[in-house]
Structure 1
């Protein structure tokens, strides 16, 4: 090669020519390697430490953060504000959703998400109570009787987001809610200070997150010595159907509702694409990636794990990340879709059937309370669908924030001593609050609810009894649960 350079350039420039030819040969070799290099799989989603990756609170995102229901931001509701001598609060029934939990499906970078919560005096006192209540910390499981024997009392890791399990933030939410309710009822319900184990009944679905949520709520609400003597009663279903569970036609209603939701999504192809592109960035390879990535509801639920814990959102490249507009689009579509389904005929009938056992049980408890029979406090620890279906069955307006973590429906049972106090007398009333807001007048059969003052309305007990016995199955053109469930057509 040097002789060629001497021939072309002369002896003085031979070295420079040699260097240029060497570089050219290296470039050619590099190009060949590029084509021979095996194709690499797409990189795993990584966390980018860019402040933009956090979802900030503003006017448009406020509703999203309401679902998270941060413990430090929880405020007391209007429970127990009817403080008039002629009105006596006889008992309280609480239907509530469990607290903050980990994702239901495997998501990327979940090990980097901090699901812990700041330590408070209330949380520290609760930890100490559990330590002392379990033979000085020798056991971390429920040692009481019943179906929940051996269930862990508290999340096993204070900061990890375990799949479908309650987080410490969820524990803090229910402790806070219980404590707020206790203070709300201090003046209007003297019995609350001295509730015994016989005065309290607690029902929970057979999930760690609902059992632990019930335990935390009651620690904040009732005396600690009473809590240690309670028996937790297992609900055989997520709907608390009790003895009215078997209902074959609900499968047909489920299919009809699912078909309607699929049609709504089909008419919004942009949302379907948005859900899929967002889902591809969220779900890990351990999840049923394709199915969940196409479902806006599944994508929304997974997003809450990052959003509610102020975690960075995942990216697969520095320029391909989950953006604010993606999140807003998913949540806005979900709110719109649920508002449409709220008016859907099949959805309404499905909610009536699934909630019948719970409504029947609530009415029976109200009548026992009014006859001065125990229990006086009844708690149902359930899920978002528990609240949604009950609210729909009662005819409440659609409320996107109803099913936030630690969301609640509270029934307060009153006796008006000026009218008579027996359950058969005219002085028996109830009041319904959704997340602390009086919604009694929204109930389908309580349109003539009595207004006592601003934000305080009561409905006659006889109205809900009449609804249950006479009007509950009007929409099905039958008179009882069995006929509604075994109908041949929708």
Structure 2
């Protein structure tokens, strides 16, 4: 269907690395660029200092990719957000985000969990000028209208010792900055929402995890500082695929099983990866199978992104070289996945309900019917991956 010349509808998707990507290939990408000092403090320190690369290496580099994944808030790089062909007008924006930086979901057996404080402290880095105001505003969340599942969740992280999967201060700051960027483009430049916006003009939906809800609230606050809680309706999405009432799809599950078999075959054929897991298991003193099941890359990424030394035992420490081997295999898996195309078949079916619902909303706006002008969906990696893959991103 062709839209009228003066109607430009823009679908924005935020990728797993928190890049904001649209269907028209406009994007925003945040990567760590601020150099970190190599000077070591006197005395013993558990802090590891990682030099941050400034330019992309000529060949795929696992450590560079890990830095990009960390997405530590530093300098923002803008691209084509809000740009449109001459004669077109922006009518609505649909945003899907992956939650911000979180504490690991898995623990490496017989090692100390990473020591991270998940309370929000504006004076602690990384921070944001609006962080203190965000914390204060969240204390009035009871004025909003909440689906029951979301209403019982905390509005921001509060534990001094992070719980498994809890959003960190870095994660909150990431989305405050994303919201601030979207505010500059869509509120200030395009005047998408009026100052006296109404409830029907804003749509917010989140899964039932505190990290997704809190990430969505952080982005929303960056977009609309001091927003009116009484106008806000927060809706719960029970499925991580955001498929609503259209989740039953046996062939989709079959494609996913085929993709998982491809992943497994690629991993078992990687002898360097296997030797690395054997060495790591020997270091921590557990069977190799148990270490693999603990998904150690999840915890190691947390250590890496927060500049913490990797876990140690009496037998030694896990190393950067071992970390790089696992990251390298993940990069090879991604290349093989794109070449084989098995995941794409799954992704097209997995993303279809959400994209179909989004397209219907956009068409209603194009037809001039009363519809949300800004829709925000706060989700997970497993949500973003099929949506992006379905658009060849």
Give TM-score scaled by structure 1 length: 0.62
Q: Contact between 1:351 and 1:390, CA under 8 Å: does it hold in 2?
A: yes
Q: Contact between 1:160 and 1:167, CA under 8 Å: does it hold in 2?
A: no
After TM superposition, the structure 1 = structure 2 runs for residues 117-136 of structure 1, keeping only pairs within 5 Å, are: 117-118=124-125, 119-134=127-142
Match of 2:291 in 1: 293
| RMSD, aligned CA | 2.8
Deviation at 1:67, TM superposition (A): 0.8
Find the residue that maps to 2:179 and give its secondary structure: helix
Match of 1:252 in 2: 254
Alpha-carbon separation, structure 1, partners of 2:260 and 2:251 = 14
Say if 2:312 is the partner of 1:345.
Answer: no
Count of paired positions? 335
Q: Contact between 2:96 and 2:378, CA under 8 Å: does it hold in 1?
A: yes
Match of 1:63 in 2: 65
Match of 1:175 in 2: 176
Q: Give the greater-gyration-radius structure (CA).
A: 1
Q: Deviation string for 1:179-230 (max 9, x for gaps)?
A: 1110122454213343322101111111111111111111111253344421
Say if 2:210 is the partner of 1:219.
Answer: no
The structure-2 alpha-carbon separation of the partners of 1:191 and 1:260, relative to structure 1 and needing over 3 Å to count, comes to closer
Deviation at 1:240, TM superposition (A): 0.7
> Higher helix share goes to which structure?
1
Match of 1:232 in 2: 234
Q: Contact between 1:80 and 1:184, CA under 8 Å: does it hold in 2?
A: yes
Match of 2:19 in 1: none
After TM superposition, the structure 1 = structure 2 runs for residues 79-90 of structure 1, keeping only pairs within 5 Å, are: 79-82=81-84, 84=86, 86-90=87-91
Q: Contact between 2:193 and 2:373, CA under 8 Å: does it hold in 1?
A: no
Alpha-carbon separation, structure 2, partners of 1:172 and 1:279 = 35
Find the residue that maps to 1:378 and give its secondary structure: strand
Unaligned runs of 5+ in 2: 1-42
Match of 1:380 in 2: 377
Match of 1:26 in 2: none
Q: Contact between 1:113 and 1:306, CA under 8 Å: does it hold in 2?
A: no
Alpha-carbon separation, structure 1, partners of 2:216 and 2:189 = 23
Alpha-carbon separation, structure 2, partners of 1:280 and 1:352 = 41
Alpha-carbon separation, structure 2, partners of 1:124 and 1:313 = 32
Match of 1:21 in 2: none
Match of 2:13 in 1: none
Match of 2:40 in 1: none
Match of 1:202 among 179, 201, 204: 204
Q: Contact between 2:107 and 2:296, CA under 8 Å: does it hold in 1?
A: no
The structure-2 alpha-carbon separation of the partners of 1:110 and 1:193, relative to structure 1 and needing over 3 Å to count, comes to farther
Match of 1:17 in 2: none
Unaligned runs of 5+ in 1: 1-47, 136-141, 397-490
Say if 2:322 is the partner of 1:321.
Answer: no
Match of 1:360 among 339, 351, 356: 356
Match of 2:32 in 1: none
Q: Deviation string for 1:125-181 (max 9, x for gaps)?
A: 10121234458xxxxxx8734431121101122x53310121122111111110111
Match of 1:29 in 2: none
Alpha-carbon separation, structure 1, partners of 2:215 and 2:365 = 24
The structure-2 alpha-carbon separation of the partners of 1:352 and 1:145, relative to structure 1 and needing over 3 Å to count, comes to closer
Say if 2:371 is the partner of 1:369.
Answer: no
Deviation at 1:263, TM superposition (A): 0.8
Q: Contact between 2:118 and 2:167, CA under 8 Å: does it hold in 1?
A: no
Alpha-carbon separation, structure 2, partners of 1:174 and 1:268 = 37
Alpha-carbon separation, structure 2, partners of 1:392 and 1:132 = 38
The structure-2 alpha-carbon separation of the partners of 1:131 and 1:251, relative to structure 1 and needing over 3 Å to count, comes to closer
Alpha-carbon separation, structure 2, partners of 1:49 and 1:257 = 45
Find the residue that maps to 1:232 and give its secondary structure: strand
Deviation at 1:242, TM superposition (A): 1.9
